[in-house]
Structure 1
């Protein structure tokens, strides 16, 4: 396979993107399917944000291009990428520039209710950020619900185990 493919796993904070991404990776490893994983949240974590890039988009894209270039030079063609808004249409250009204009993009939006997310974030956010995370998560859920492209596969995570969710996510790719 010469064409690059990327599985974008998006969703609000507390929905399980990272956990599901790692489980998808585990299933691919078990099936001996070559792939790479990038936690998109880490690709733009610089503080303070560059004055000319307050949303860190350029930093994220440069890092994605560099890391993917390393993976591609080693023969990898499949990427799992987790990030809240990665499934939105405006993110597609970043992946096309970093991975090639003919990259196949598979979008999966993980969803969960406010109550489910609140329970998960309360267990995860042990510092001063809980209230901010809850508010931002609710705002991003609305944004994603309204703006995710029609070809986005939506997978509910409420009351489900990660293995079950990962099976549904992986099915969207056709990789295994």
Structure 2
């Protein structure tokens, strides 16, 4: 299973279309973690699962999205309701409540991934206004055997091999 994860595109459309085109052959799911600033029916968001960001004024996206994928529970939210710019504690509590294995979020525009208490937290950064680095980033998550490979891409440069990370599969011994 391979999942494309983007966030905080803030009105970009051509770039979202290009990212979809680049990865169409290798992903089975696409997630947008909010702040697209687009209408839900916009072509650039076609085939994306999208959550509501604080800059998404239309209010047509869900605040949270939970889905079981390959035996793992994904929890997607933008992050603004959980104060992710200052702490992951609130988001961690919610992730535990919904029994998430993987949490995808945005809002801070800061690229990052870390395992906390057996839950993988992923922020793909921003393809429009990155913070903490110059690359306009997004990610591809790939579940392979008993691990998760996270590949980081810069919109302009492509895959950033030096930022690839491998995590043990949450609850790997419980999943078929």
- TM-score, length-scaled by structure 2: 0.34
Q: Which has the higher helix share?
A: 1
Looking at both structures, which has the greater relative contact order when contacts are Cα pairs under 8 Å and sequence separation is at least 6? 1
- Larger-gyration structure (1/2): 1
Q: Which has the higher strand share?
A: 2
